[in-house]
A = this chain, B = another copy of it.
Amino acid sequence: MKYFIRAVTLSIIITGLLLSWATFASESESVGAATYNEKGELVLPEGFREWVFIGAPLTPNGLNNGEAGFPEYHHVYVNPDAFAVYKRTGRFPEGTVIAKELVLLQSGDYPDGSKNAASGRGFFAGDAHGMDVMVKDTSRFSETNGWGFFNFGHHAVPYERTAVAASKSECAACHTANAGKGMVFQSYYPVLRR
């Protein structure tokens, strides 16, 4: 009986230690929500629509000569572990993934794309129509200020399965010029300003 109790105690302690380690390991690893294939292309992140939402800038086609650069809602999400670090430190850690899904407006009653609804005249999201991702990795993307930029297609779902890093002129140039050193347009995202 003495052996039995000792053995039970010991095995509970071991199980506890293993569980703590597993939790710690999964936390450290999951900050890196970016996965690359053998060619070094970024794999389309999964489950991003359940990450932490940071904002929904809206650039309607109707206010941009019929073709906005990013039509039209930009639903922007950060992977939760990276967001937790940002909340604590005000900085995005290595491995941060920011996903921007483009969503077209529902067809409007007015030229600007707005329509009448029970809650008033406004803008309402229609179908998903594109996917851009930025990943923080200062060594891998040293040429573009530490962030890699990826376009998984600006069209209806399904998006491309993988994407190569965009050239400096495609995305990073505008982020560098307009978003400041951090490369993220923080001023447009309420929860990042707090």
Contact = CB atoms under 8 A, between A and B. Distances in A.
Contact of A74 (B59, B77, B119, B188): B119
Interface string A48-90: 0110110111111001100011100111010010010000000
Interface residues of A, number: 55
A13 to B, nearest CB: 10
A191 interface: yes
A158 interface: no
B125 A63 contact: no
Given A63-B114, A80-B50, A128-B190, A57 B123 contact: yes
Given A15-B12, A63-B120, A103 B69 contact: no
Contact of A63 (B52, B55, B121, B124): B121
Q: What is the copy number of this chain in the assembly?
A: 2
If over half of A's interface residues share one DSSP class (helix, strand or loop), that class is named, otherwise mixed; here it is mixed
Interface of A: 3-4, 7-8, 10-12, 15, 49-50, 52-53, 55-60, 63-64, 68-70, 73-75, 77, 80, 83, 103, 106, 112, 114, 117-128, 174, 177-179, 185, 187-191
